[in-house]
Structure 1
C-alpha cells in the first residue's frame, strides 16, 4: 500500500498572522480502479485547495490514500496523518476533507478520531457538509457518519451478491488465478468482459510436478518423496517461479497442495475477508473448472498432509524413545497405543503397549489390547527383517507397482505425442497462411495478423508444455536386483542396531501402521514408498524427522 504526502505552499491573500490557520488535506478513493482512473483524487484536491484559498487557510501537507476502504483505520496515510496531527508541535489546525465519508465510513470510530484530534487542537472540516461545535452541527455530523456507514455496508452487500451470482454462473471474479490456470474471455455483456479459468499448460506441468514430488518424488532426478519445505527448496533451487514470478514459500505451497481447483472444484467466498472467519456452506459457491489432477492423486496428498500435521503427530512421536509410538494402533477402535508400566514385587519394571482410548476413557470406549513392549517390538522387527526386507520378497511386493507405473509411463508418452501433434498442427497452419500471402492469394491485413499472432501463441504454449513434459518424463528409476539387495541389507542393518531414533525414523518412513489385535499383528505400508526408497536408498544420516523442537509457532511451516 502506498500513499503520498507533500508539502505545498499556496499564495494567500494578505491577512493577519494571528488569523492564519494551517490545514492538512486528506484525499481518498475506495477502489484501485478509481485511483487508476485518476478522476476522483484530482477533483478532491482541486475542490479542497480552492476552499482553503477562499477561507485564507494555508495548506501545509497533503495525504493521499489511493484505493483503500475507510471502514476502519488500517490505512497508512490516515495513520500517518493522525500521528502527525497529534505531535507536540501541533503542526495543523484543520484537517480538510471533501466529505466525511472520505475521512471515515464508521460512525463510532469517526467520532472517536474527531475527539482525539480535538484534544490536540485540530478540527476536521468537510467542505460539502455542515461542520462546527454547536449541538446541531454535532448531531448532523453524527447522523451523516451513521448514514455513510450504512451506505458502505449496503454497497458491500450488493457487490458481494453480484460477485456470488457471477461465480455461480461459472465466471471468474477477477482475482489472480491459481497456479496452472489463466483467466480467458468467455463472453461480453455490454462493456463488461466475463472470464473463465482455462488451463495454462506450462504452469499445469509445474502443478503436476509439485504433487508428484510431495507424494512419490521424482525418479528422473533421483528425488525421494519430499515434505513441503523440501519441495519449496527443490523448486526454488531449479528456477521454478510462482504465478507472479516470485519464489515459492511454505504457506503458498500448502495452499497449492490443498486447492480443490486442481480436481475441478474452485470454492469461492470461503472466508470473510474482514474477519478471516469461514463462511457457512450455504454462502460458499463451487465453480466447475478444468481439472489438472486425478482425484486419487489429490486424495493421497490430503492423507499425507493429515498424517504429517504436527497437531496430529506431535514431536514426541518422531523423537521419543518408544519404537512404535505413532505406528502401533488398536485393532478394535483404531486409536493409538500408548506406554503403560507396572512394577513386580521384586521391583522389576515391565512396559506394555496398551490402547490409549481404554487407558484414558475407560473400558466402555474400547475393550482394548495390551502387549509387552519388548515382545511387540521384537515381533515387528523380526517380521520385517526376515520377510519383507528379503530381496526376493521385496521384488514380489513391488512387481504390481512396476506394472502400474509402466502403464502410467505409457499415458505420459501418449500425452507427449498429443502435445507434439498440437505443435505440428499450429506450425502447419502458420505455413499455409504464409504461403497464401506469398502467392498473393491473401493480404496481410489486421485480421490476418491477429490470426497469425493467435497461432504463434498456440504453438509456443504447446511447445513449452511439450518441452516441460519431456524434461519431467524420465520415468521412475528401474528396480534392479542390485538396488533391491542393497536396500534390504541397509534396512536389516538399521533394524538390528540399538539406535532407537534411527530405527524409528526408518520405520516411520516405510510403514503405514502396526495394527494390534487380540491374536494377530498386521503391518501395513505403501508400495509407492518402498519403490521410492529402493530407487534412491539413503544413508542413515539422511533420514530427518518431520518435526522437531525448532518448529515454528505458525501452522504454515509444519505441514
Structure 2
C-alpha cells in the first residue's frame, strides 16, 4: 500500500516540532502496517478553516494522479476544520480511490465526516467567539483589541506569572510628529496627493515601510481607516466598527460594517496625539471637499467610485521607468500612476488614450504576426517538437517493453502457483503478482496520457491570424455593445503588457504579445483560454518560447 502523510499546525504560537511529531507518529504507524510512504505533505502556521493551503492542494493533485492509495494524518482536524471542506476532500479522495486514515479516528467514513466535521466547525465558531470576547475585554480596559496603528509602538511586558500582557500601546514620537504634519498640511489646504508627494521626497517611510500614496492618507471615513480618520489620534478607541467574513470561493476575508449601536468606544487620553481644534479643522475640510469635489485626492476617489467604463487596454499598460501602471489621469490622457500619485517616478510623459489604442491596434493588425518571422518560429518549433517527440518515444518504447516483460512474469507466476503444493509459496507469489499488476497499471496510465497527438502549426496560420484580427477590429466599430465587448475581450487576450518609455521627448511603446492568445486566435478559437484548441495552444506556448515582443 502506497501512503502519503499529511501534517499541519495552525498558528505561529505553535512550534515546527508539532509538524515533526505528527510525521514521526504517522511514520511509525505506517511501518507497523507495512505501508510504503511515497510522500509527506505539510502546512506550517496555516489555519485549517480553508483548503487554500499549498500542502493540502499538492496532496489533492497527486492523489488524482494515482501516486498513492491512502492518506494518513494524526486526526481529521489536521486535514481541515471546515465542514464543507472536509466533505469535499472526502469526495475527491473517494473519486480517486484513495482512503483517508487518521490515528485518532481510524479509517474515515461518511459518519466521521458528518459528526466530526460538525464538531470541528463548532470548535472554530467557539474559538472565534472566545477571541472576540477577550478582545472586547481588553478594549473596555482601554487596551488595543488587536493590531497596531501608525504612530504607536506595542508595549511588550509580562505579568507576575510570566504571561505576556497584551493590548498596551505607547506613542511613537517620531511617527506622531509625521501625523501632526499631515494634519497641519491638510488643514492648510494641501491635497492628500501633494502631502504624499512631499513625504516621499523627504524620505519618510509610509506605515507599511514603502512609499506614501494619497489613499494611505485619505482612507475611508466610513470604515475609519486612513491617517485622517483614525480617532485614536484624539484619544478615542473605537472597536467592532466592522466584521470580517470569509468568501467561501476564494478564502479571502471581506469586510462588513456593523451598526453603529454595536461599536465599542473607549477614551484613551494617554494615546492622544492631536488637539481637538486641529482634528475638527481637518474634519470640516473633508466635509467641504466631499461637497465640492475640489481636492485632488478626493476627486480621484470620486473618479474611481463612478466606475466609468475601462478603456480597451486598461490594466495592461506599464511605465517603462518604474514598472507602475499607466492609468487614466483625465478624461482623455493616460499617464504613470506612480509619478502622479507618489512622486517617486520621474516619468511625466502622457499620451492620449485614443492614440495609444490606435497605435496598438494597428500593430496587432499589421505587425504582430509577420509571415517571415512566423516561418522562422515554425522552423524552431518543429525542431523543438521533434526533440520532445524523440524523448517521449523513447519513454513510450521503454514502458511498452516493461509491460510485455510484466506479462511474461505474471504468466510464470500463475503457472508456479498452480503447480505449487505449498501453502506459503502461493502467498508470497500472490504479493509479487499484486506488485507487478500495480506497476503494469501505472505504465498503462502513462501510455494513455502520453499518446496524445502533438500540436501542429499550419503554414498559413499567420494569414488566418490577420483575417481574425481584422474581423475583431471591425466588430469594435459595431453598434452592438455585446459584439464590441466580445471583440475587446479577445483583443485584450493577445496582449500580455504594453510598456511605455519616454525616449528623446517621445513615448516609445513596446507591446508584449501573449503567445497562447495569438495562436488561439489563429486557430479561430472563440475563447483563447479554452475550447478544442486549448491543449495545442498551451503546449505550443509552453515549449520554451518567449512572448512575442515588438516596438511601435
Name the TM-score, length of structure 1 as normaliser.
0.47
> Which has the higher relative contact order, 1 or 2, with Cα contacts under 8 A spaced 6 or more apart?
1
Larger Cα-atom Rg? 1
